[in-house]
Structure formats: C-alpha cells, structure tokens
Chain A
Amino acid sequence: AQSVTQLGSHVSVSEGALVLLRCNYSSSVPPYLFWYVQYPNQGLQLLLKYTSAATLVKGINDFEAEFKKSETSFHLTKPSAHMSDAAEYFCAVINLSGGYNKLIFGAGTRLAVHP
C-alpha cells in the first residue's frame, strides 16, 4: 500500500529564505504524488502534482517539487519565502488498491515565515 511521511511538523524560515518541505513516499508501484496547501480555517488548494511526465514539477506561487525515485522523495521547495506562504502543507499519494483512486495524506507541515 502507498503512504507518505512528512518530515518535520513545523518549519520556520525567514522572509526571502529558501523553503524546503520534505516528503518521502512508500509505494510498490510508480506513485502519483500531490502537494496541497491549507491556509488557516480554509480548505485545501492544490499546489502541484507529479504524474510521471517530468521529474521536476512546477506549481503555483513559485513552488516546485522534484520526484527522486532513488530517494523515494518528493520535496517541496520555493526559492524565496513570502509572509503569505505561512500555511500548512500536505503531501499526498494516490492509493490504487481498493478499486478507486484514494488520496493518502501525510500529517502535514506547518510553515511559519518571520520577518
């Protein structure tokens, strides 16, 4: 069965610094991976998704993620953090067993951006 692990429940960066949020997956088949962002008291918004077309995936708001099969990772990065990036970020993988495309979420990483 597929699963994801997000390393670090809280990450804090300075405004303008690199953002790196870590996600490792476990899958016996080629995975399909997603990053979602959740602002306080709101629903989830898709940032980007990996569907095997390219290993480097670009998303909204200058976020990108690189799929590395050798490391079973799909880390999310952004070159320069903005205060508005403060939110919770979820990595998710599609679980293909059970007859439907089920999203399996990580526990989330809360990103704080300080001046």
Chain B
Amino acid sequence: DGGITQSPKYLFRKEGQNVTLSCEQNLNHDAMYWYRQDPGQGLRLIYYSQIVNDFQKGDIAEGYSVSREKKESFPLTVTSAQKNPTAFYLCASSPRLAGEVWDTQYFGPGTRLTVL
C-alpha cells in the first residue's frame, strides 16, 4: 500500500528538549511538506522540500529544523527554541513542488506533540 507514515502518533516532551518527528512516504513523490495545526487556525506551513538535500522555510519555520537526505524521508525536529510547540503536526507529499497546479497533496496521519 502506498502512503505516508508518521511516527509516533503521540509524543510528550519536557520543556527544553529537542524532539524529532518522523515522516516517510513510498509514493515516489518529489515534494514533501510539514504543517502545524492548532485549533481554529487551519494548517500552517513550517517547511517544504522539492528534492533531496534541498528544503525551504515556510510561514512559521522559527524553532524548527528539517533534513531531506532521502527522497522518501523528511524528518522534522522541534527544538527548544520553539516557544509553543504543543500542536498537531502533519506531513504531506505531492508529485512535484511546482508541477501542475492541481497536483494533490497527500497527508500522513499526524503526530500530536505535547510539551509538559
């Protein structure tokens, strides 16, 4: 089955700790994305990547970092610099970053991060 997997589903972190969220896709998509979801605010883009070893900041990149060493993997690290990290994090992928405008983004099941 092709799709996007995220792990873990739930994650708890103490203040001051870095934590890494996993995202893997086997859809052979070039582009991958990380979104943050807060109640009543929709989704906001954190980082995106259109190719291996390349990634760009989205709208709310401060306090986050990513890597793209493999086409199928795009892990997100939430650093201690992120002031309010408790949220639901969604990873997505699409065939191309700047392909046809109707290229669909496919989403993973999400990781809920809670800072204690």
Contacts and interface: CB of A to CB of B under 8 A. Distances in A.
Interface of A: 9, 32, 34, 36, 41-46, 49, 51, 90, 94, 96, 99-103, 105-108
B103 A101 contact: yes
Nearest to A53: B102
A44 B103 contact: no
Nearest to B44: A105
Interface in B55-114: 88, 90, 92, 94, 97-99, 101-110, 112
Which 4 residue pairs are nearest across A and B when measured between Cβ atoms? A43-B107, A105-B42, A51-B102, A44-B107
A100 B109 contact: no
Contacts, number: 61
Given A32-B101, A32-B102, A46-B104, A102 B109 contact: no
Given A41-B112, A44-B107, A94 B101 contact: yes
B11 interface: no
B110 A42 contact: yes
A101 B6 CA distance: 23
Given A41-B110, A101-B101, A108-B40, 15 more contacts: A34-B104, A41-B88, A42-B109, A43-B90, A43-B92, A44-B107, A49-B102, A90-B43, A96-B101, A100-B97, A101-B99, A102-B45, A103-B43, A103-B45, A107-B42
Contact of A103 (B6, B105, B109): B105
Contacts of B4: 43
